[in-house]
Amino acid sequence: MSSKSVLRVALLAGGTSSEREVSLKGAKAVHSALLELGHRVEFFDPASDLLNLVQRAKDFDVAFLVMHGPGGEDGTLQGFLDMLGLPYQGAGVLGSALAMHKGLSKILYERVGLPVPKGKLFKKGISLALMRDYAHSLGFPLIVKPATQGSSVGLSLVENEYALDEAVEKAFEVDKEILLEEHLKGRELTVGILGEEPLPVVEIQHKAKFFNYETKYTPGLAEEICPAPISKELTLTAQEYALRAHRALYLRHYSRTDMILVEDKIFVLETNTIPGMTETSLLPLSAKVAGLSFKDLIEKLLRLALESSS
């Protein structure tokens, strides 16, 4: 297929997760880019339009996913599209499921030698006393977060033992498994992978205690600097870690791995299989510094999706 061929694209966004609004915002930017590229685009919301997509799957060459959270980024939708025979960008079923589960991804990071924060997974119904004991062994402050949510949904920075129970309850409201993890204070970095190649490192600077949902999506609360003002050695290490994380989780096409730099050591936190896709989102920013416009990025992802299916 030539680079100038017109594609029939099913754009999927929305869904039922707590990240629905973020998904829809990104889809607007992607929709505009697809039209500017000359492709034919139709929008489908998995919350209401899946039957329609089943009936019309043969009308499309490729799907473009701007989905976040459970039901869109965890392999569920990917398996659905596989059954329809409709190619899509990003991780397949296995990679999506592994990356979405922070407990499993942490294990896989460690197996390929990536440094990670200390932490432990707890299932709903476990004794609060056991979690309190583990929290004390870990030390305060610490992070409590759901195992399978994105955008910091349900995540809390726990300053002392008195705030622990409320944070645990908050996390269990949105997930059946949660992580208690040491809080590492340092510089926040993120590195995108595009087609098996690392993109420039981004540093995220903000004044919040941690990079929470409000800080991520409220203009002006965070500043993204790319390329990150770190040494060449640290830059190469961060890029190597991102690629190792990408491969450890069986990902493809693209991903974005979040890290924290503590003094001169980088720790891997988590990997996003469908990174935010507004023109000012982190991966598009990094791609722009690497010489790819937002439209170029969208086009490359479409081509990667089609190459995987051929």
Q: Given the residues 23, 96, 105, 151, select the one marked as catalytic.
A: 151
**Pairing state of beta strands 142-146 and 177-182?**
antiparallel
In sequence order, what are the residues at sequence separation of 6 or more whose Cβ sits closer than 8 angstroms to the Cβ of residue 137?
none
Distance (Å, rounded) from C-alpha 157 to C-alpha 144?
7
Calculate Rg over the CA atoms of the chain.
19
Residue positions forming the annotated binding site = 258, 270, 272
Find where tokens 């990003």 sit: 90
Distance (Å, rounded) from C-alpha 298 to C-alpha 294?
6
Residue positions forming the annotated binding site for Mg(2+) = 258, 270, 272
CB 167 within 8 A of CB 180: no
Within the chain, strands assigned E span 8-13, 40-44, 62-66, 119-123, 142-146, 156-158, 177-182, 187-194, 197-198, 202-206, 222-225, 254-262, 265-272
Catalytic site includes residue 151: yes
Q: Given the residues 17, 18, 19, 255, select the one marked as catalytic.
A: 19
Six-digit token string for 81? 């599209």
Distance (Å, rounded) from C-alpha 46 to C-alpha 27?
13
Catalytic site includes residue 152: no
Catalytic site includes residue 307: no
Q: Given the residues 105, 255, 281, 286, select the one marked as catalytic.
A: 281
Catalytic positions, written as ranges: 19, 151, 281
